[in-house]
Amino acid sequence: MSFIGPNWQSMKLLGSKVQSRITMIDAGIPVCPGMKGGSKDFDEFEKVALEIGLPVLVKASDGGGGKGMRIVWKLEELKPAVEAAMRESISAFGSDVIFLEKYIQSPRHIEFQIACDKYGNAIHLNERECSIQRRHQKIIEETPSAIMTPELRQKMGEIAVRVAKAANYDNIGTVEFLLDKDLNFYFLEVNARIQVEHPVTELTTGIDLVKMQVKIANGEKLQYSQSDIRQMGHALECRIYAEDPENNFFPSPGLINFFQEPKGIGIRYDNGVKQGYEVPIHYDPILAKLITYGANREESRIRMINALKENVILGAKTSTAFMIEVLKHPEYIKGNINTNFLQDYSINAKPSEPILDAALAIAGLKPELPKQRELANNNSSLQSNPWLEIGKWELY
């Protein structure tokens, strides 16, 4: 039996932000200034913070999804942040190993898709821009990045491949970087798996990444060299979350009363829910991934806005209306985005125009009431009355 993924040694190394950071420093990969390894000594945290200058970022070595992470702007905030990060890291990951690095203000989050076989061959499949985030988690991803030039893509792509080789990586993965306003980039981490946003790479390269990882796991050599990789058009992905943007993106569990999937040219929709599904409180609130493809960024953006309007989920609150407002923002349209975009600009959680027409609004129905159904069936004077037959209903 073969595991579809990288070898365990690479996973163990890259699963630790501290160990991977040490490995990349030794390999000459650019990383954010900060501690080389983890520590539990507060005096060391204070010393490094003073050396590299505030603000700094306290991070959990085994963390992910923004957990165990704290930004420190003032020295007196450092100790409480270190203690809080340790507690959260133990609770979420079973480890209290944390470290400190320079906080790069308003960077762009750029990641490179990599593919490596078991014979030392490695390539990248271009970048994805993942800068639109809330709580250090991605909301909207796209490729190509609006900031990218051929020269920068080549430079960052080559470093991404060097990262993979330094970790003896095999299979599909993602090398993540922070890119500052001066186009300096720093290694962040490697996600040793195929990621949520992989469809945008598939649409713009024409390569099935899931099929590729299965072939690599089966012992096959990469069938592509770096010169074979081409980028065609532009793709966007929006993560449809069951959460309330008006309440600091608080999770919004509940029954999905009505569900409509967007369809059309250039639209891909990956989802794991359906009408009548109960969104639980126990897991990540992502419901679906909506991906659009166009000849260029603007076509992909307009197509995404229209598709989001057609993606009707009634019952649990979702982030669709909020993402429409992000995509319509003048700075987003210009490509001026960074990881602080949502903090820098006031984005309305409520849409400026109605997403649903009356017919769709009426279709958001609650479960039928047996007495109303019985009344409709027994009323001989009515051939058909949908207002009685559908059960209890209300306009949203």
Confidence label for 380 from pLDDT (cuts 50, 70 and 90): very low
Is residue 384 scored above 50 in pLDDT? Answer: no
- Are the beta carbons of 306 and 112 closer than 8 angstroms? no
- Are the beta carbons of 98 and 82 closer than 8 angstroms? yes
Task: Determine which of 123-137, 140-154, 322-336, 373-387 has the lowest per-residue pLDDT on average.
Answer: 373-387
Widest CA span in the chain: 85
Concerning whether 193 is annotated as a catalytic residue, the answer is: yes
Q: Which of 87, 108, 193, 373 is catalytic?
A: 193
What are the tens digits of pLDDT across the range 216-231? 999 999 999 999 999 9
pLDDT at 360: 47
Percent of the chain predicted with pLDDT > 90: 72
24-35 per-residue burial string, b: 16 or more CB within 10 A, e: under 16: beeeebebbebb
pLDDT at 350: 64
Residue 116 has φ and ψ, to the nearest 5°, of: -135, 135
The mean per-residue pLDDT over the stretch 303-316 comes to: 95
Q: Model-level pTM?
A: 0.82
Is residue 366 scored above 70 in pLDDT? Answer: no
The mean per-residue pLDDT over the stretch 308-323 comes to: 94
Is residue 375 scored above 50 in pLDDT? Answer: no
pLDDT at 107: 95
Confidence label for 146 from pLDDT (cuts 50, 70 and 90): very high
Is residue 376 scored above 50 in pLDDT? Answer: no
Confidence label for 17 from pLDDT (cuts 50, 70 and 90): confident
Average pLDDT, the chain: 88
Instruction: List the structure tokens of 143.
Output: 């490729």
- Are the beta carbons of 217 and 3 closer than 8 angstroms? yes
Residue type at 378 in one-letter notation: N
pLDDT at 233: 98
Distance between CA atoms of 126 and 112, rounded to whole angstroms? 6
Instruction: Find all residues with CB under 8 Å of 252, minimum gap 6, and list them.
Output: 242, 243, 244, 279, 285, 316, 317, 318
What are the tens digits of pLDDT across the range 89-124? 888 888 888 899 999 989 999 999 999 999 999 999
pLDDT at 109: 97
pLDDT at 260: 95
Residue 134 has φ and ψ, to the nearest 5°, of: -135, 135
- Are the beta carbons of 188 and 177 closer than 8 angstroms? yes
pLDDT at 60: 87
pLDDT at 209: 98
Q: Is 264 exposed, middle or buried (0-12, 13-18, 19+ CB in 10 A)?
A: exposed
Query: Span 108-344: which CATH code?
Result: 3.30.470.20
Distance between CA atoms of 327 and 305, rounded to whole angstroms? 7
CA dihedral 129, 131, 135, 140 (to 10 degrees): -60
Is residue 310 scored above 90 in pLDDT? Answer: yes
Is residue 174 scored above 90 in pLDDT? Answer: yes
Distance between CA atoms of 224 and 231, rounded to whole angstroms? 14
Higher pLDDT, 282 or 9: 9
Confidence label for 329 from pLDDT (cuts 50, 70 and 90): very high
- Are the beta carbons of 172 and 114 closer than 8 angstroms? yes
Distance between CA atoms of 126 and 157, rounded to whole angstroms? 7
C-beta atoms surrounding 279 within 10 Å = 21
Q: First-to-last CA distance in the chain?
A: 51
Domain spans of the chain, in order of start? 33-102, 108-344, 365-396
What are the tens digits of pLDDT across the range 258-280? 999 999 999 999 998 999 999 98
According to DSSP, the residues that pair with 56 across neighbouring strands are 72, 102
Confidence label for 368 from pLDDT (cuts 50, 70 and 90): very low
Higher pLDDT, 26 or 353: 26
Torsion over CA: 293, 295, 297, 299 (sign): negative
- Domain 33-102 part of CATH 3.30.1490.20: yes
The mean per-residue pLDDT over the stretch 320-335 comes to: 96
205-233 per-residue burial string, b: 16 or more CB within 10 A, e: under 16: bebebeebbebbbeeeebeeeeeebebeb
Distance between CA atoms of 364 and 87, rounded to whole angstroms? 42
